[in-house]
Structure 1
Amino acid sequence: MLKNKHFYIPQSGFTLIELMLVIVIVGVLASIGIPSYRTFISTGKITTATSSLHGALLLARTEAIKRGKNVTICRSETANAAVPSCSTTDSTPGTNSGWADGWIIFTDDNNNGTYQPGNNPPEILIFAQGSQAKDLTDISIMPSVPQKFLTFNSTGQVFGASIQMLVNKPTWDSDTSHNRYICIASGGRARVSTSTC
């Protein structure tokens, strides 16, 4: 005759103490990781914007020398449009993102700082860069003086005095050491600096 056998089935799961311990560990890791991640995002945006504008300035200068004519880089809020145009407003903190709104590079035969593809001969669009900033709390690029455009002549010089462009950190980043400066000499050379020009 068979006897009833009782089988022991082990139970598994978390105790409340184990669950609380995991939550505390996740909280500590998040408090360490999230600020580092935000810093990484901020410095990445600043580095990208600085490199993009610095490279564009070098391109404009090189094209002016190569073509033997004036080449202009201008701030543009419509750089991604089929026919982009130069901005008519100044770079103003809190109102726009300055040069972080975008820019275009073009041959400027009549030296008026305005892209005019319908001219005879037509001005040629060399390069267009869309916005680097998603909104007003993101990065901004502000010139030291109101500057909507820069024109390089056939020898690569800039018309006017030297200019400083501040690549400003996002508003949520409190570390001002993340800011970068692009220094443009009257001779046309541009360089990047961690301090004012």
Structure 2
Amino acid sequence: MPVSWMGPIRQHPADSIDVMVPANTPLSVPSRICTLGFSLIELMVVISVLAILASIAAPSFQDSFEAYRVASARENLVSTIQFARTEAIRTGQPVVVRRKADCASNNWGCGWVVFRDTNGNNTQQAGEASIRETETQRGVSIRSNAGSADFQAVNIFGQFAGSPFFSFFIGPTPNDDANNCTRVVFSSAMRALSTKGSGSGFCP
């Protein structure tokens, strides 16, 4: 049987000589095909391990979120009280920080409003415009232990009109007994001291 020499030309790697290969010469075929990827069992094992790790890390994430919400509410509250003091001294008028009425009594979690109390009755009325307003503090509960649970008045000297000391208790909700609770104590000089803890001495 005659051999056809019209097949492909292969180049010799050593001396770069072109070699004619018969067209009907079979080329080498890999003896085994490699498979890539995971088997079903391997995939199920990986998913199970990830689920276990996620369940272990979940409480840590929850604590971090609660701590962040409480810290954010504390910063908003402290900055509001300091702002009210500055405005009272600057304008020579009493300034009141009053909680919004959307929540139950003594709960400041719905936010608060700051206004100049021109008639001294601690209630915002017509003509007493808001000079600052804070929206709902989501995921936290805030309670005051002062004589008035709904407002704090600052006189023209930058001092609280009522008790020289008062506290706010801030905690995450609904887990209001968590270790992420914070008690904020304001002195007569309007300085704020924050302490973290748990139980009735710190949580709302």
* % identical aligned pairs: 29
Q: Which has the higher strand share?
A: 2
Match of 1:109 among 118, 121, 128: 118
Name the counterpart of 2:92: 68
Give the residue type in structure 1 aligned to 2:45.
L
Match of 2:78 among 50, 54, 70: 54
Give the residue type in structure 2 aligned to 1:148.
D
CA RMSD of aligned residues (A): 2.6
Shift of 1:172: 3.4
Rg larger in 1 or in 2? 2
Please list every run of 5 or more consecutive structure 2 residues that lacks an aligned counterpart in the other structure.
1-23
Q: Which moved further from structure 2: 104-113 or 29-38?
A: 29-38
Match of 1:172 among 175, 186, 193: 175
Shift of 1:42: 0.6
With a CA cutoff of 8 Å and minimum separation of 6, indicate the structure with the bigger relative contact order: 1
Give the residue type in structure 1 aligned to 2:110.
D
Q: Structure 2: how far apart are the matches of 1:174 and 1:106?
A: 33
The alignment's TM-score, normalised by the length of structure 2, stands at 0.73
Name the counterpart of 2:109: 100
Match of 1:191 among 190, 193, 196: 193
Q: How many residues align?
A: 173
Shift of 1:168: 1.4
Give the residue type in structure 2 aligned to 1:128.
E
Q: Rate the CA distance shift 1:13–1:71 in 2: closer, same or farther, 3 A.
A: same
Q: Structure 2: how far apart are the matches of 1:115 and 1:165?
A: 22
Please list every run of 5 or more consecutive structure 1 residues that lacks an aligned counterpart in the other structure.
79-86, 92-97
Q: Rate the CA distance shift 1:46–1:99 in 2: closer, same or farther, 3 A.
A: same
User: Any conservation in 2 of the 1:54–1:191 contact (CA below 8 Å)?
Assistant: no
Q: Structure 2: how far apart are the matches of 1:173 and 1:152?
A: 29
Q: Which moved further from structure 2: 122-131 or 8-17?
A: 8-17
Alignment partner of 1:13 is 2:37:
yes
Q: Deviations over 1:81-134 (max 9, x none)?
A: xxxxxx8x622xxxxxx1110001110011112112x3xxx323210001012x
Counterpart of 1:55 in 2: which secondary structure? helix
The alignment's TM-score, normalised by the length of structure 1, stands at 0.75
